[in-house]
Amino acid sequence: MWSSPAVPPAELDVLVAGSGPAGLSAAAGCAAAGLRTALVAPSLRVWPATYCLWADELDAAAGPLGLDPAAAAARYSPTVVRTAAGGERRLARGYARLRNDVVHAAVLDRFRTSGGTVVTDRVTAVSGRTVVLAGGERLTARVVLDARGSGPGTAQQRAWGEVVAGPVPDLVPPGGALLMDWTALAAPGAPPAFLYGLPLDDGTVLLEATSLAARPPLPLPGLRDRLAALLAAYGLRPAGEAERVAIPLDGASRAAGTGTRLGAAAGLVHPATGYSVASSLRLGPQVAAALAEGRDPHVVVRAARPRTTAALLALGREVLLPLDAAATDAFFAAFFTLPDRAWSAYLDVGSPPPAVAAAMARVFAALSPAQRARLLGGVARGALRLTRAWAAGSGR
Ligand SMILES: Cc1cc2nc3c(=O)[nH]c(=O)nc-3n(C[C@H](O)[C@H](O)[C@H](O)COP(=O)(O)OP(=O)(O)OC[C@H]3O[C@@H](n4cnc5c(N)ncnc54)[C@H](O)[C@@H]3O)c2cc1C
Cis peptide leading into residue 167 (ω within 30°) = yes
Alpha-carbon distance of 263 to 24, in angstroms, equals 10
Nearest CA to ligand 1 atom 12: 275
Number of residues in the chain: 396
Contacts of 57 (CB under 8 A, 6+ apart): 96, 278, 282
17: Cβ below 6 Å to ligand 1?
A: yes
Which atom in ligand 1 lies closest to the alpha carbon of residue 266? 26
| Integer angstrom CA distances of residue 293 from 33, 289, 374 | 9, 6, 50
Report percent pLDDT > 90 for the chain: 85
Q: What does the pLDDT read at residue 151?
A: 83
What confidence category does residue 345 fall into, taking pLDDT thresholds of 50, 70 and 90? very high
Please give the distance, rounded to the nearest whole angstrom, from the Cα atom of residue 251 to the centre of ligand 1.
12
Asked if pLDDT for residue 84 goes beyond 50, the answer is yes
For 231, phi and psi rounded to 5 degrees? -60, -40
Asked if pLDDT for residue 83 goes beyond 50, the answer is yes
23: Cβ below 6 Å to ligand 1?
A: yes
What confidence category does residue 384 fall into, taking pLDDT thresholds of 50, 70 and 90? confident
Nearest CA to ligand 1 atom 17: 247
Q: What pLDDT, in 10s, does the model give residues 270-320?
A: 999 999 999 999 999 999 999 999 999 999 999 999 999 999 999 999 999
What confidence category does residue 381 fall into, taking pLDDT thresholds of 50, 70 and 90? confident
274: Cβ below 6 Å to ligand 1?
A: yes
Mean pLDDT of 5-21: 84
Alpha-carbon distance of 206 to 184, in angstroms, equals 15
Q: What does the pLDDT read at residue 396?
A: 57
Q: What pLDDT, in 10s, does the model give residues 225-279?
A: 999 999 999 999 999 899 999 999 997 665 655 689 999 999 899 999 999 999 9
